[in-house]
């Protein structure tokens, strides 16, 4: 396998873009990406395009990538559409990496895009709720605590109820508190205030997070990622080709995609397995990371991912946030972009947006949210829910 590099990245601001089409948003991200890389669109040999919800919200199915790219004059090349719930864009990046690493192509575009806002918000929540085994939907709702399941999937994302249950379980087992989750949310909202691409750019205190409206105990609104619209893109090339375009390539050290499987409670879950594959491929461990962007669809999800990614021992996630390890200025900043909680979560765009953030961090181009001296970064992007854990997870490790 050849060494692969990222030479350019671009993204829109994640926000409520009711007046903009997915073509318009994707054009902005791709144009910015190509301009930053110096790669002409005619040099692209293939494209992988991630999207999760367009079929349910706009009716556009089957050829989503071809539709948006043709509109900006990119055609005649293989365009692969990836749909993998919230891991759609991370999966698109994995395919783009594989195309270059295998030697099949030298220059490939990876795109993530989503229009999740709809004037009828219940349609957005229903679309999100489709990322489970729908044949078991009624049983899934029945299994939830009745105090938290009311309104799940209609007035809020069904996934917040999953996260609420996981949060309560972690509290019962390890003594984690709602204050720990509030500290994570406050951290990410404060990071987001430094990011011009973020949907929410207001710094928050832990008390403000706790005082926000309750969504599903113990989750308040500020502990839950918002829905959003947006797009992100990166250009990948072989390491040899990269030097034609930039003196600052960012190398892809590892790219892993895992699906969930039935396993015993003591056996590694999907995020642990994906991370281990990535660490082994990159020849590093979690102690070698300088920065990470991870899937904080809720504040408790980030805390549990600290443990699943090996950033701390199981049960010690609360200690990590208490000690400020994962905040800007700490030993290992996590979600300096603001994460899904503040940057936003247009689900089909999130994975590539995470990669764009790490690309900028490793090149020293993250402005006020820059992690000093960052050389190695990780992204983790999960999607769907099946039998108690994510259905799909992607982990990527990048370095300079």
Q: Which residues pair with 250 in a beta bridge?
A: 6
Q: Which of 189, 197, 295, 345 is catalytic?
A: 345
Q: What is the pLDDT of residue 265?
A: 83
Domains identified in the chain, total number: 2
Phi, psi values for residue 383, rounded to 5°: -145, 140
Same domain, 22 and 44: yes
- What is the per-residue pLDDT for 146? 47
- Position 264 in a domain: yes
Grouping H, G, I as helix, E, B as strand and the rest as coil, residue 31 is helix
Residue 86 a catalytic site member: yes
Predicted pLDDT at 266: 82
342 and 302 within one domain: yes
Q: Residue 389's beta-bridge partner residues?
A: 386
- Expressed as residue numbers, the domain containing 55 is 4-118+228-252
Q: Does residue 386 fall inside a structural domain?
A: yes
Domain membership flag for residue 29: yes
Q: Which helix (H) or strand (E) holds 110?
A: strand 107-115
pLDDT (0 to 100) of residue 127: 79
Q: Is 312 among the catalytic positions?
A: no
- Residue 130's pLDDT is 84
Q: What is the pTM of this model?
A: 0.94
Q: Are residues 246 and 280 in the same domain?
A: no
Residue 148 is predicted with a pLDDT of 47
pLDDT tens, residue by residue, 145-200: 544 445 554 555 678 888 999 999 999 999 999 999 999 999 999 999 999 999 99
The pLDDT score that the predictor gives to residue 121 is 79
Both 139 and 260 in one domain: the answer is: yes
- Angle (nearest 5°) at CA 350 between 152 and 166: 40
Same domain for 360 and 319: yes
Q: Which residues does the chain have with pLDDT short of 70?
A: 137-157
- CB atoms near residue 207 (< 10 Å): 11
Which CATH number goes with the domain that contains 95? 3.40.47.10
- Residue 333 and residue 214 share a domain: yes
In-domain check, residue 153: yes
**Looking at 17, 33, 86, 94, which residue is catalytic?**
86
Q: For strands 46-50 and 4-11, give the pairing.
A: unpaired
In whole angstroms, give the CA distance from residue 180 to residue 177. 5
CA-based nearest residue to 50, from 111, 109, 8: 111
Residues 248, 258, single domain; the answer is no
pLDDT recorded at residue 155: 54
- 123 in any annotated domain: no
- Apex 18 CA angle, 15 and 21, nearest 5: 95
């Amino acid at each position: 396998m050849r060494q692969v590099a990222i030479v350019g990245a671009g993204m829109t601001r994640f926000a409520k873009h009711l007046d903009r089409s997915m073509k318009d948003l994707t054009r902005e991200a791709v144009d910015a990406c190509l301009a930053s890389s110096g790669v002409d669109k005619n040099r692209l040999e293939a494209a992988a395009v991630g999207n999760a919800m367009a079929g349910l919200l706009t009716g556009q199915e089957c050829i989503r990538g071809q539709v948006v790219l043709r509109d900006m004059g990119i055609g005649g090349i293989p365009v692969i559409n990836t749909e993998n719930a919230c891991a759609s864009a991370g999966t698109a990046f994995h395919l783009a990496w594989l195309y270059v690493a295998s030697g099949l192509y030298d220059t490939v575009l990876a795109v993530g895009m989503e229009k999740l806002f709809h004037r009828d918000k219940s349609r957005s929540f229903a679309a999100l709720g489709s990322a489970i085994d729908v044949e078991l939907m009624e049983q899934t709702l029945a299994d939830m605590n009745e105090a938290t399941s009311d309104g799940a999937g209609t007035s809020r994302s069904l996934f917040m109820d999953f996260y609420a249950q996981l949060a309560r379980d972690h509290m019962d087992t390890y003594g984690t508190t709602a204050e720990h989750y509030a500290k994570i949310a406050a951290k990410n909202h404060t990071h987001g205030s430094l990011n011009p691409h973020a949907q929410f750019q207001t710094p928050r205190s832990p008390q403000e997070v706790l005082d926000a409206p309750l969504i599903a105990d113990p989750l308040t609104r500020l502990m839950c990622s918002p829905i959003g619209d947006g797009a992100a893109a990166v250009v990948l090339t072989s390491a040899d080709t990269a030097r034609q375009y930039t003196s600052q390539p960012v190398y892809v050290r590892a790219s892993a995609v895992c699906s969930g499987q039935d396993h015993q409670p003591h056996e590694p879950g999907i995020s642990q397995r994906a991370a281990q594959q990535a660490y082994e491929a990159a020849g590093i461990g979690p102690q070698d990371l300088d920065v990470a962007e991870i899937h904080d669809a809720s504040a408790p999800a980030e805390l549990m991912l600290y443990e699943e990614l090996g950033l701390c021992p199981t049960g010690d996630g609360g200690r990590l946030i208490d000690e400020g390890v994962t905040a800007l200025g700490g030993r290992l900043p996590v979600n300096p972009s603001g994460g899904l909680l503040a940057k936003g979560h247009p689900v089909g765009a999130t994975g590539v947006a995470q990669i764009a953030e790490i690309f900028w961090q490793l090149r020293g181009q993250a402005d006020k949210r820059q992690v000093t001296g960052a050389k190695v970064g990780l992204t983790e992007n999960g999607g769907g829910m099946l039998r108690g854990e994510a259905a799909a997870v992607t982990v990527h490790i990048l370095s300079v």
